[in-house]
Structure 1
Amino acid sequence: MNGDALYSIGELARRTGLTVKTIRYYSDSGIVPPTGRSHAGYRLYDIDALARLDLARTLRELGLDLAAVRRVLDRETSVPEVAAAHADALDVQIRTLRLRRAVLRAVARRGASPQETRLMHRLAQLSGAERHRLVHAFIDDTFGGFDANPEFVAMMRSAMPELPEDPTTEQVEAWVELAELCQDADFRASVRRMAEMQAADRAGGDTGALHHELNEAVRDRIAEALAAGILPTSAEALPVTQALTALYAHAFARADDGDLRRWLLARLEAAADPRAERYWQLLATVNGWPPVASLAPVFTWFIEALRSGEQPRGEDGPPVGGR
């Protein structure tokens, strides 16, 4: 091709595949200025203009705006610099689109109302820091002002929701439900009661340890009783209950008596709030952790067994009026 050749807009259109209208717009915008004009006043372009036009088309097809294209063509910035910045911007857009997709699928699956849809969209749009602040506010409100179990409070503060960049529908739904739960006044009051009990225990000399081995032993013994079909109100449950209260008496350095059983029953009833278990299940779903096994059957069995033990008994039989 002759380097001195000049081309009309129509010739550029044939060579590039762009429309005459598009080339004229680029020319008017200063993206591809004309090299000169014909005797009749028509715009003419040289080989450099053809190269600029080809690069401009490529950059536009990649999604760059005209201002960025002009900076590249005028050598105010390099193609790699513009490409890196644009790729970063696309990453943000992709994350936003993925989140919107997950919210829309959740709305479709739940048959959400307009109000629920707005709430789901708002909560899903929160940044990681905003999600953390929402959960920390819940913890501050429920445990603040109490000398509660420090190990338990620290565990709650360390377990924050981390919604991934490409969340599943289930993760979005779990986060929305978790956020609603953290703001539920009745649930907050229930957790505050647990915090009050922990503070009372610490005032009574409890070290605040979480007693992981004790909890596992209790779960295992009650799981065995459930598997064996032992009813919590039956005579067969008595040895199991006595063995469990003995474990608690040893762990907390207390006498294995009626006071211990009443103390234990009150704490089990407070901890058995199904919303407390749901909190950890939702957090596990959001964070992609293994599913949290339900302890509801364990709590129910132990609570009924302790309540049964508090009822007056016949000489050799189950509690009077028991099932």
Structure 2
Amino acid sequence: MLPHELLSIGELAERAGVSVKAVRFYSDQGLLPEADRSSGGHRRYAPEALERLRLIRSLRALDVPLPQIARVVADGLGENGLGDIVARQLDSLGAELDALRWREAALRLLHEAAPGERAELLRLVGALGTPPSTDTMVRYWRRLLPLRLPTRLVTSIVEAAVPPLPEQPVPAQVLAFAGLHELTRVADDACLVDHRPSPPRPDVLYDGLREAYDLTAPALLAGRDPAAGEALDCFVAAHARAHDRRDTPDFRRDLGRDLAAGDHPAMRRYWALAGEVTPAPTLGAVNTWLSSALAAQLAGN
């Protein structure tokens, strides 16, 4: 290539709309190879370097990391390769936006709090990540569930019991989530063991409860009062089968007493907080509806 066809670093920078410093940086990173050097040691670039530099500039404008840009320019990735990079960048940006939305809600919570409350709120919120993780709650439930429960049921129950992070959190949800984190973080083993259900056949119980809860959710969403029906029958039958008993009036009275006696303050607090985090009916709300339906039926008999 003739010397007059080469571009100086200044000419290349001007045509691409970037600074000379940027061209020098990309060259030093190996993204923009030089074609030659002048007698004075100045960099010279082939005309095709202009198109590469424009590509680099466009990708950097989208905040694509340099290692990924290096793959594009080195491997000559086509549309599919660029599509993969764009998809990864979208995922990364989504995570950043989630963190920013959570941080904004947390700051609003502190900003709107009374001065005397801010220190305690900061302690609670500061114990969370940004955005926070549900790992503490997952561990809590895995310790709480019966030891002999099949993995498939443990996974299903944990997914249903741990509320997902809201996509557009508000300060009240941040506070509720922080309360859940604190509650599950400090729960001691004695409390968990005392509350852990241990029927003879836990897999039968939880399989049946899942069906009963699915039947109950529409009633909760519709705001209907607890009442006897298919959902309650399914709920009672699950408990009966798990204890190798039949669904009889005597069993329903025994179950009603057990449910009333098994009401645990920590679990009541957990479900109250979970209900503030997610608008979907929680397992706790469903269980309360069914227990209330049974209590109402027993009271009417």
- Asked if TM exceeds 0.5, the reply is yes
Find the partner of 1:136 among 138, 142, 146: 142
Matched, 1:32 2:32: yes
Distance 1:51 1:278, change over 3 A: same
RMSD (CA atoms): 5.0
Matching of residue 115 in structure 1 with residue 123 in structure 2? yes
Could you say which residue in structure 1 is the equivalent of 2:52?
Answer: 52
- Percent identity over paired residues: 26
Q: Say which SS state the counterpart of residue 178 (structure 2) adopts.
A: helix
Deviation (angstroms), 1:155: 8.9
Query: In the alignment, what sits opposite 1:174?
Result: 176
Residue 48 of structure 1 and its aligned partner are, at CA, apart by 0.9
- How far apart are residue 269 of structure 1 and its match? 4.8
In the other structure, the counterpart of 2:194 is: 192
Residue 161 of structure 2 is aligned to residue 160 of structure 1? yes
Shift of 1:178: 2.9
Q: 2:75 matched to which residue of 1? A: 76
CA distance in 2, matches of 1:46, 1:54: 14
Give me the whole-angstrom Cα distance separating, in 1, the residues matched to 2:155 and 2:6.
75
- 3-state SS of the aligned residue for 1:44? strand
Measure how far apart 1:289 and its partner are: 0.4
Contact 1:181 1:187 in 2 (8 A): no
Q: Deviations over 1:276-300 (max 9, x none)?
A: 444334344445404849969x98x
Q: Where do 5+ consecutive residues of structure 1 fail to align?
A: 222-249, 307-323
Residues 208-223 of structure 1: matches in 2 within 5 Å?
219=226
Equivalent residue for 1:280? 271
The structural deviation recorded for 1:181 is: 3.2
Contact 1:124 1:172 in 2 (8 A): no
How far off its partner does 1:56 sit? 1.7
1:199-243 Cα deviation digits (max 9, x unpaired):
8xx9xxxx9787x7xx99x9559xxxxxxxxxxxxxxxxxxxxxx
Larger Rg: 1
CA distance in 2, matches of 1:191, 1:68: 50
Task: Give the SS at the match of 2:129.
Answer: helix
- Alpha-carbon shift at residue 191 of structure 1 (Å): 8.0
**1:9–1:23 Cα contact (<8 Å) kept:** yes
> Structure 1 residues 91-100 or 58-67, which shifts more?
91-100
Is 1:105 the equivalent of 2:105? yes
1:22 CA displacement: 1.8
Q: How does 1:231-270 map to 2 (within 5 A)?
A: 252-254=248-250, 267=258, 269-270=260-261
Q: Unaligned 5+ residue runs, structure 2?
A: 111-117, 220-224, 229-245
> How many Å apart are 1:176 and its aligned residue?
3.3
- In the TM superposition, residue 78 of structure 1 has moved relative to its aligned partner by 0.7
SS of 1:101's equivalent?
Answer: helix
Aligned-partner SS, 1:121: coil
1-structure distance, mates of 2:3, 2:55 = 18
Q: Distance in 1 between matches of 2:274 and 2:189?
A: 16
1:87 partnered with 2:87: yes
Describe the SS at the equivalent of 2:261.
helix
Q: Distance in 2 between matches of 1:55 and 1:163?
A: 39
Deviating above 6 A after TM superposition, structure 1's stretches of 4 or more consecutive aligned residues are 207-210, 293-296
* 3-state SS of paired residue (1:120): coil
Match of 2:14 in 1: 14
